[in-house]
Structure 1
Amino acid sequence: MNDTQVRPTTHQLDDRLEIHELLSRYYVAVDEHDADAWVALWTEEGVFDSGYLHLEGRAQLHQFMAGHDVQTRHLVTNIRTEVRGDRALAESYMLVVPRVGKPEVVATANCRSELLKVDGRWKLARHTYKPDPSFVPPSSPSG
């Protein structure tokens, strides 16, 4: 660390850790098909956007996740966070591998999560999922 870098405070480190844990819980809930746990991570007006799917509010989020039955493991990596008061930005990579069979990567994406602190806890306000060009979901027009 050089003289121009500032060490994060304990409070900032606590915020970053909570955000990392939130992202881990997010993907575990997806893999376990736990719509209630997944939706609990969002603000009331939360927005999910993947370019081919746009959801707004907990009702739409819950409806989507309740019908989202995947047989995969989602792995979140390279999480970078920036906390500014009660707002935060987290950027990460996401990899998907199958639960059974050969453990090969079936999809990758860049993710951008905008978070708000609500009642002392971090919640997702907007999560943008941008699949890499190697992955085109079956339900998309070009898939």
Structure 2
Amino acid sequence: MTLSPADKFAITELSNTQMQALDNHDVAAWVSAWLPDGDFIATYGTFSGHEAITAFINGHIAAGKEDGARHLMTNYVISGDGDTATSTCRVTKLQVDAPPFIIATGVYTDVLVRTEQGWKFRSRRLDIERGVFARAEIEAAAAQHRG
């Protein structure tokens, strides 16, 4: 059984709602998008289970990495068999407190499971595209040249 349009909408809504939670620094809402034993896989490492995911995102927020950030989610491609699904989408992270600029871009690759509470991430993988690291290297080189 293929996914219904309502299922695809619910999966898109889960992803978008999770990113709004991150933009609002609502850790509990952000983490609740995963199964209790779900995985967040990113450049920063792999975090398994709500406790590890919570510790990671709390540290990320405390370090200021989400201050003034807004995440735009686009280009969803979702498929599945009814109770499991896969999804890919693009993310653009903007800085909006200062004159706006793109902080980073990337791709989310998700495995989802239908639960009694709705769709949840079994795993959510974030692949950040090279540009964010290239910008940091350029800024570091410029600072070193000035110093």
| Equivalent position of 1:134 in the other structure | 131
Query: Equivalent of 2:97, from 78, 100, 125?
Result: 100
Shift in Å, 1:102: 1.9
The aligned amino acid for 1:112 is T
Query: Equivalent of 1:23, from 15, 20, 39?
Result: 15
Q: Which runs of 4+ in 1 moved over 4 A?
A: none
Q: Does the 8 A contact of 1:117 with 1:123 survive in 2?
A: yes
1:39 aligns with 2:31: yes
| Equivalent position of 1:12 in the other structure | 4
Gaps of 5+ in 1: 1-7, 138-142
Query: Equivalent of 2:55, from 41, 44, 63?
Result: 63
**Normalized against structure 2, the TM-score is what?**
0.81
**Cα-Cα RMSD:** 2.0
Shift in Å, 1:36: 0.6
Shift in Å, 1:120: 5.2
> For each residue in 1:50-87, what CA deviation from the matched residue of structure 2 results, as whole angstroms up to 9, or x when unmatched?
13321000111111222332120011111111121210
Q: Does the 8 A contact of 1:12 with 1:83 survive in 2?
A: no
SS of residue paired to 1:105? strand
SS of residue paired to 2:53? helix
Mapped to 2, the partners of 1:24 and 1:83 lie a distance apart of 19
| Equivalent position of 1:140 in the other structure | none
| Equivalent position of 2:111 in the other structure | 114
The aligned amino acid for 2:108 is C
Identity, % of aligned pairs?
A: 26
The aligned amino acid for 2:71 is H
SS of residue paired to 1:67? helix
**Normalized against structure 1, the TM-score is what?**
0.83
Mapped to 1, the partners of 2:34 and 2:81 lie a distance apart of 19
1:78 aligns with 2:86: no
Aligned length: 130
Mapped to 1, the partners of 2:119 and 2:113 lie a distance apart of 6
| Equivalent position of 2:86 in the other structure | 89
Mapped to 2, the partners of 1:21 and 1:67 lie a distance apart of 26
